[in-house]
Chains A and B, each alone.
Chain A
């Protein structure tokens, strides 16, 4: 019989979730660095998903750059669940102005991979439609 571990009911996961949520509303800009350093580099998909969503919710240039322009993070994450969840959060933003700026700069910049640019272009198209 398979004993499936339910991460959502885990006490430590709830603790991690609360800490990430606190960093979402923390006015200190250093919160973005902590989220990027610890959260987006976690081996646990659920933690990366929470971190990416938190960075989008902050809706700042720095936090949005992490999830849009970085290879393997946010919309470029190898996990489809994490990438789709980040895109969904971007689409849910009330003020999409900053996100559109970051997407445009990513598409037009030569310093990013083609894959990253392609993802940014697709998300931009979705956001224009929403």
Chain B
């Protein structure tokens, strides 16, 4: 029997339970493959003997003992998964509790500091003293380009405000003399 046929039969079996019941014989011996006196059952062996003989399609009929063992292991692992899931939830709850405790502690600390050292009124007073509204207004009305101007432009702008005769002229004479000296040295 091909794999495709097996899968088709299995799906048929799963989705048509009434058919399954019909095939399960109530007169079959449920202990056919078991021996309770000597062996310990590790898997589901309650299957109709008739089904075995007739090779009828059965949910468990075509499954080998090893397959059954694997499935039972799988079911067992599912129950383990449930435990792990529960443990995971437990750890999440514990984490949430610790976060909540942390927040509460921080809030308490802030309140403690606020009451003892820094009050809102104090901060307001400091701000009023240090940064006046006029100062902030002046800062905002400043030419934004001056904040990003290059050193060269800043220097030029600074010199442009100097007195040409008393301040700039000596600087220009000095720079020219130094340039001439450089040229002589290079020659």
Contacts and interface: CB of A to CB of B under 8 A. Distances in A.
Interface of A: 3, 5, 7, 10, 12-13, 15-16, 18-23, 25-28, 30-31, 33-34, 37-39, 42-44, 47
Contacts of A16: 172, 175-176, 179
A19 B164 contact: no
A5 B186 CA distance: 6
Interface of B: 152, 155-165, 168-169, 171-173, 175-176, 178-180, 182-183, 186-187
Given A19-B159, A34-B164, A38-B172, 18 more contacts: A5-B182, A7-B183, A15-B178, A16-B175, A18-B152, A18-B155, A19-B171, A19-B175, A20-B172, A23-B164, A23-B168, A27-B160, A33-B165, A34-B172, A38-B176, A44-B176, A44-B183, A47-B176
Contacts, number: 83
Contacts of A33: 164-165
A19 B159 CA distance: 7
Contacts of B186: 3, 5
Contacts of A13: 179
Nearest to B169: A34
B165 A39 contact: no
Contacts of B162: 22, 26
Contacts of B173: 38
Contact of A19 (B163, B172, B187): B172
B181 to A, nearest CB: 8
B161 to A, nearest CB: 8
A34 B165 contact: yes
A40 B155 CA distance: 23
Given A5-B187, A22-B160, A30 B175 contact: no
